[in-house]
Amino acid sequence: MHRRTLPELPKTMRAAVYRGRGKVRVESLPVPALKAGEVLVRVACCGVCHTDLKKIRYGLQKPPRVYGHETAGTIVRTGRGVRGWKVGDRVAVFHHVPCGDCFYCDRGAFAQCAGYKKTGTTAGFEPAGGGYAEYVRVLPWIVRGGMVRIPKGVSFEAAHFLEPLNTCYKAVERLVPARGDVALVFGQGPIGLLFTQLLKLRGAKVLALDLMPSRRRLARKLGAAEALDPRAASVQHSVDRRTKKRGADLAVVAVPSEPAAQQALNLLRPGGQVLLFAHTRRGDEIALDPSAVCVDEKTVLGSYSACPDPGGKIAQLVFRRKVKAEPLVTHRYPLARIAEAFRRAEQPDGRSLKVVVLP
């Protein structure tokens, strides 16, 4: 399409600008200008992620920035030299892409790649995601390797789950579950429910654990063999009954809770594995009995962020609805009410799961 036939874009846009610890304001910013190899995406949906909320709450990065990295929308401009993409394409946009050719990438530790640590999407200021804005500028290496075309019939709300689902898939790959394994998933928020579905797809018998009855009910609908209150004595009974008292094979701790991590380790069989997924704030501590690792040979793993999906097999789990994403969205907010969206995500109740912003 010739540039002169493209519809006019506004000069300014609304964006939620991080201005310091605990401070985010909806402001008017210039619509980002493009350089060669870049595209501009009109944001349709951006999920509220607790990683961004932690950065805002604790002031972990210098302001100003525009956060938001679970982004889906429509390409409205392409820069010089862009190949394979055109105006009107519906896309899910990742904000990190590994280089594929360094020490860490060779070993599959993609989140430790120096190139991966560079954020490749921005709505202005230092790149920080940019999805909490009307438009986001996608930098060249993300255009080449970090955008996924959304098929017809798949909503933006479903497609925005590609980034968080990818992070969970990478974690499950680290665990290497075997068919028939008994797997505990602590926390049945949006991330925990993704883990429950992925582990069920791998043939595991999932015991889903959450304090909220509504989340336990949804976990059962999405494939958990049982859904239990972690405070109940029935947790130990269920693990014993399903494993002939050996203990669970795997555990995923999808909440930043020290008691949950300790309980997970205690419920594992000798030689079992526990994966920490939500303990992302540096300086937090967990008490650990080292003999559980040394004598009982229990393994403590971590997993952070996403991995490459060159064949699109992870995306297809959403597109073909093998992982049910849309039922996880419970609250939708316009950009003007983003402070309410953040509060809802930080203070969930029995009615709330995934919170999204619709700029």
Q: What is the per-residue pLDDT for 179?
A: 97
Q: 107-135, pLDDT tens digit by residue?
A: 999 999 999 999 999 999 999 999 999 99
Helix (H, G, I), strand (E, B) or coil at 3: helix
Q: What is the per-residue pLDDT for 310?
A: 77
Q: What is the per-residue pLDDT for 281?
A: 78
How far apart are alpha carbons 312 and 172 in whole angstroms? Answer: 17
Q: 287-322, pLDDT tens digit by residue?
A: 889 999 999 999 999 999 998 897 899 999 999 999
The pTM (predicted TM-score) of the whole model is 0.95
Which residue, 183, 167, 198, is CA-closest to 280? 167
Q: Please say if the pLDDT value at position 4 is more than 60.
A: no
Which residue reads 């912003």 in tokens? 357
Q: Please say if the pLDDT value at position 203 is more than 90.
A: yes
Percentage of the chain surpassing pLDDT 90?
93
Q: Please say if the pLDDT value at position 93 is more than 50.
A: yes
Measured torsion, CA atoms of residues 124, 125, 126, 128, in degrees rounded to the nearest 10? -40
Which residue, 310, 312, 48, is CA-closest to 154? 312
Q: What is the per-residue pLDDT for 178?
A: 96
How far apart are alpha carbons 25 and 53 in whole angstroms? Answer: 14
Q: What is the per-residue pLDDT for 191?
A: 98
CB atoms within 10 A of CB 256: 17
What is the arithmetic mean of pLDDT over 186-207?
Answer: 98
Q: 132-155, pLDDT tens digit by residue?
A: 999 999 999 999 999 999 999 999
Q: What is the per-residue pLDDT for 181?
A: 98
Q: What is the per-residue pLDDT for 5?
A: 56
Q: Which amino acid is at 210?
A: D
How far apart are alpha carbons 262 and 269 in whole angstroms? Answer: 14
As given in the structure block, the two tokens for residue 351 are 């009615």
Q: Please say if the pLDDT value at position 14 is more than 80.
A: yes
What is the arithmetic mean of pLDDT over 71-98?
Answer: 97
Q: 265-289, pLDDT tens digit by residue?
A: 999 999 999 999 998 878 888 888 9
Percentage of the chain surpassing pLDDT 70?
98
Q: 27-65, pLDDT tens digit by residue?
A: 999 999 999 999 999 999 999 999 999 999 999 999 999
Q: What is the per-residue pLDDT for 6?
A: 66
Distances (CA, A) of 274 to 54, 161, 177, 252, 302: 23, 24, 12, 6, 8
Which of 57-71, 211-225, 281-295, 339-353 is the least confident region?
281-295
Q: 54-63, pLDDT tens digit by residue?
A: 999 999 999 9
pLDDT band with cut points at 50, 70 and 90 for residue 2: very low
What is the arithmetic mean of pLDDT over 73-77?
Answer: 98
Mean pLDDT (the chain, rounded): 95
What structural domains and CATH numbers belong to the chain?
Answer: 3-161+325-358 (3.90.180.10), 168-302 (3.40.50.720)
pLDDT band with cut points at 50, 70 and 90 for residue 1: very low
What is the arithmetic mean of pLDDT over 148-165?
Answer: 97
As given in the structure block, the two tokens for residue 186 are 């602590």
